[in-house]
Amino acid sequence: MNPLEKITPLPNAAPVRTMRVFIRDLILPCSIGIHQHERLAQQRVQINVELTCVEHPAINDDVDNVVCYATALMGIKAVVADGHINLVETLADRVADVCLADYRVLTAKVRIDKLDVFKEAFSVGIEIERSRSDR
């Protein structure tokens, strides 16, 4: 017997449709780092965010029915402008929290690159992924 034959579908259970909203290569000046010279001057960070969102059943060309990347961008800018942060891990976690504040966002993948740390490397940084169930 095929094990799939034993599965009984849930009544009225529609599949969840998702979409991805992203912000790529956002470069902002940021007060970040544990070293004294990093506290004295801002440095450039590059932020990439990918949000997996529940898709509204009827988008209907209405901005209220989608996760707005402009709103996410403003939230990210507010986090960066909020004052000195020691670790890129902390910045990434705060960015993920801002994105997950929208109940339609299921997961937030956040990548933070510090662009001016080593002359031999284009960037250094981290990438995290957080989901609604992590909160």
Q: What residues contact 29, with CB distance under 8 A and at least 6 apart?
A: 42, 43, 44, 45, 80
Q: What residues contact 120, with CB distance under 8 A and at least 6 apart?
A: none
Between residues 2 and 18, which one has the greater pLDDT? 18
**Rounded CA separation 9/30 (Å):** 50
Task: Tell me the CATH architecture of domain 16-134.
Answer: 2-Layer Sandwich (3.30)
User: Which pLDDT score is estimated for 3?
Assistant: 58
Mean pLDDT of the chain: 89
Please name the residue that has the structure tokens 């007060």: 31
For the stretch 74-110, pLDDT in tens is 999 999 999 999 999 999 999 999 999 999 999 999 9
Rg, C-alpha atoms of the chain: 19
User: Which pLDDT score is estimated for 11?
Assistant: 66
Q: Are 18 and 66 in contact (CB under 8 A)?
A: no
- Of all residues in the chain, the percent with pLDDT exceeding 70 is 87
Q: How many residues does the chain have?
A: 135
Domain ranges of the chain: 16-134
Cα 131 to Cα 10, 41, 43, distances in angstroms:
25, 33, 29
**Rounded CA separation 110/54 (Å):** 18
Region of poorest pLDDT, from 23-32, 40-49, 62-71: 62-71
Where does the pLDDT of residue 13 fall: very low under 50, low under 70, confident under 90, or very high at 90 and above?
Answer: low
Tokens describing residue 86: 């020691």
Strand, coil or helix: 35: coil
